[in-house]
Amino acid sequence: MKRIAGVVAGIAVLAGGLAPVDARAADASLSVTAEAGRQKVAWGPCPKDGGQLQLADVECASVRVPLDYRNPGGRTISVAINRVKAKVASGPEHLGTLVVNPGGPGASGRKLAALVSAGLPNGLGERYDVVGLDPRGVGGSQPSLHCVDPDAYYRAPRPDAVPQDAAEERTLLARAKHYATRCGQQWGWFLPYLTTENSARDLDVVREALGEEKISYLGYSYGTYLGAVYATLFPDRVERMVMDSTVDPTAVWYRANLAQDRAFERRHRDFLAWTARNDAVYHLGATPGQTSEAYYAMRDRLRSRPAGGVVGPSELDDTFTMAGYSDRLWPELAAAWSAYRRRGDAKPLVDAFNKHGKTDLEDENGYAVYLGVQCRDAAWPRSWPKWRADMTRLHHRAPFMTWPNAWFNAPCLFWPTPGGTPVKVQGAPSLPPTLMIQSRRDAATPYEGALTMRRLFPKARMVVEEGGNHGVSLAGNRCVDARLAAYLADGTLPARDMTCAAQAAPRAAARKAAARKAVRRAGTKRAGTERVGAERLTEVLAG
């Protein structure tokens, strides 16, 4: 997904009433465990649906789970899983099952499993069964949510996300209401049960069906929140847990998105400053002020003259949002911007949008689940004047993301299933120590929110990269990956929270040429694999 945030365990709503967390956990886990114990995962070939990274032999299956955990004998749905099986199948060298999740909500864990298995350092991929799971509603799970035709709803250019008058605001509100209405018409039976808590319970059904007493878990972004909920509900079923790029579980979800707006503004300014430092290459301004002026002048021009008839202001927002996830994309995006501004060449900008910003059927599925989970997990303001006042105030300080992010989430104003009370996340005394990994200038999951999660898990240790990329581990930072490897191997954590230096800033060069130079400088196949893995990880985490 292109917008990420978080939510977690205490008193939560499923379809209706409230229940204390201890009673809920005990009742649901006992009844569902008995049902799951009669399931055995039947592994087989994976469908050729293009949804999985084929870096290794991968096998697939599905597991039935209750739609409503208050009625475990009632209607069931399925969650799709895949596995890269360990080469070390038994004995002390076999480390069990590592479940992975890339976030969203709405992202496919099946797309991450092979990438993680191939990228784990020190041969750990040969010692873990790495399992990816598509949470309920996502990808290969059934049902798989779709609310609109993406070719029609997202036909470019879309209305500008920054409304200039009341009429434009009404148009954007109507789009948000239309999306929510369409989801309710098609999925009214399912939306009340589309929550983070239920996805965590699904994960425990999968654990039981796999025949595992405990599982290890690696979650990125929203996946850290899902993992935190699971650890809160089922602390005795966790072997090891890694949270990478952590959400603030106390801010779900409205306040988390406001925090995101401020963090994306900071990261966008990092990109503008980097572009200014490379003015000899891009010629877009020699100071951050000049590049900022050039960027917003381009955005204003696209209102009346979309690039290639396709990239208007909203498409530009979607494309350059990706710069907040990874600075590896900065040379590519700056080059496209420069070609458009200096030579009037729209093709690189259109190509960048088609690659990084365009919404296809898979993206629409992710967006439908994103909204379904966020709008249901927690209460949202139902007053548009409240939203307008907050966004107007914040837009003055953070113009890059505030309004686009508001409209991305605006269907929650009209969502047919009201939000509930988030689960209260906390690290139970019986939970093993966990590893947290975070970049200090992360835009999608701000550092300040990770500190909140850290306080809720007092036995955790945090490794902070002094950079800004979203998704730190397995992305090329060897200091970070050494800590990850030590923890996954035998539970070893740093004695205290620690920092790792940021990776080098990207070079201002054509993207393919820069990649070739990086491989030549490294002089090893491993370095080339790390770079490819890092770029693919960015794609998976950002959707």
Taking the model in full, what pTM does it have? 0.89
In this model, does residue 518 exceed pLDDT 60?
Answer: no
Tell me if 75 sits within 8 A of 109, measured CB to CB.
Answer: no
CA–CA gap between residue 23 and residue 189 (Å, rounded): 25
Structure tokens at 132: 């990816």
In this model, does residue 520 exceed pLDDT 70?
Answer: no
Please, is 134 exposed, middle or buried when counting C-beta atoms within 10 Å of its C-beta (0-12, 13-18, 19+)? buried
CA–CA gap between residue 90 and residue 94 (Å, rounded): 5
Average pLDDT over the chain, rounded to whole?
88
Q: Looking at per-residue confidence, does 538 or 340 come out higher?
A: 340
Cis peptide leading into residue 313 (ω within 30°) = no
Sign of the CA dihedral running 439, 97, 431, 6: positive
CA–CA gap between residue 492 and residue 497 (Å, rounded): 13
Crossing angle of the two packed helices 447-456 and 254-277, in degrees rounded to 10: 130
Active-site residues, by number, are: 221, 442, 470
Structure tokens at 433: 């120590």
CA–CA gap between residue 141 and residue 278 (Å, rounded): 45
CA–CA gap between residue 97 and residue 131 (Å, rounded): 7
pLDDT, tens only, 192-212: 999 999 999 999 999 999 999
Helices (H), 326-399: 330-343, 347-356, 361-377, 384-395
Residue with tokens 């239309």: 178
CA–CA gap between residue 244 and residue 4 (Å, rounded): 13
Structure tokens at 307: 């690039």
pLDDT for the residue 509: 72
pLDDT, tens only, 93-113: 999 999 999 999 999 999 999
pLDDT, tens only, 19-77: 223 323 333 333 444 454 478 999 999 987 655 555 458 999 999 999 999 999 999 99
Percent of the chain at pLDDT exceeding 90: 83
pLDDT, tens only, 286-310: 999 999 999 999 999 999 999 999 9
CA–CA gap between residue 295 and residue 285 (Å, rounded): 10
Helices (H), 188-242: 196-209, 222-233
For residue 301, give every residue at least 6 positions away whose Cβ sits within 8 Å of its Cβ, in sequence order, or none: none
String of DSSP letters for 95-132:
-EEEEEE--TTT--THHHHHHHHHH-TTTGGGTEEEEE
